[in-house]
Structure 1
């Protein structure tokens, strides 16, 4: 894997989704994993829940196989004390197996928590949370 720059800690909860896009675009799994608490939950498009860094790593490695460019824009951020509820709109520009341009998009639902060092990390990440019922 080529060397990539480590992303900076997320200091404002509304910056979490753009930070995720930056981490995805780096192609470095470690950049993605640094955005999650150790016991965080990631919910897949199939409503499968993965809890903890190793199960989340497996799912995010699958995501990196898309090899596209992501843009993620906040729809809202509702902070309350040391947590925040987020919703974002994301688009991944990529190509299909035949080399044709395509895009994957959706609306996310996430909960992030402020850490003792002042940074924010995912507690619950549901990338397609607004698009489907649980």
Structure 2
């Protein structure tokens, strides 16, 4: 797994976790009170609901590609914008392609790692 000692490292771990189907590694990237934008305007606010959102991406059994575009960091907070895409298959077996620009807020933890406070994969559209 990637080092989560930088905001960019956390996003690399997301790619590895989605592409390897490792939900446990993904869930370790979120603060207990984090939220996840499951779709524009909808927020998942519990670990269980965040897990369900991440499972949707894993279940595509595709390849997530992500490029960090910008990291704005001050003290223990960072705003990270990315461009991402995923090619996979829906539950019906038909091809699925999704792409967007994300805006995520991460916080440095006391142990020096970074975790999501807000994960918004639809964040800049």
Among residues 95, 99, 103, which one is paired with 1:105 in the alignment? 99
Which blocks of at least 5 consecutive residues in structure 1 are unaligned? 1-6
Give the distance between the partners of 2:120 and 2:81, measured in 1 at CA.
10
Given that residues 101 and 122 in structure 2 are in contact (C-alpha distance below 8 angstroms), is that contact kept between their aligned partners in structure 1? yes
Give the distance between the partners of 1:79 and 1:110, measured in 2 at CA.
12
Matched, 1:61 2:55: yes
Matched, 1:43 2:62: no
3-state SS in 2 of match to 1:108? strand
Matched length: 124
Give the distance between the partners of 1:10 and 1:129, measured in 2 at CA.
22
Q: Give 2:75's aligned residue.
A: 81
Q: Give 1:15's aligned residue.
A: 9
Q: CA shift at 1:14, angstroms? A: 2.2
| Structure ranking higher in strand proportion | 2
Root-mean-square deviation (Å)? 1.7
Q: CA shift at 1:105, angstroms? A: 0.9
Give the distance between the partners of 1:76 and 1:46, measured in 2 at CA.
21
Give the distance between the partners of 2:52 and 2:112, measured in 1 at CA.
28
TM-score between the two structures when normalised by the length of structure 2: 0.89
Q: CA shift at 1:67, angstroms? A: 1.2
Matched, 1:129 2:113: no
Give the distance between the partners of 2:49 and 2:89, measured in 1 at CA.
26
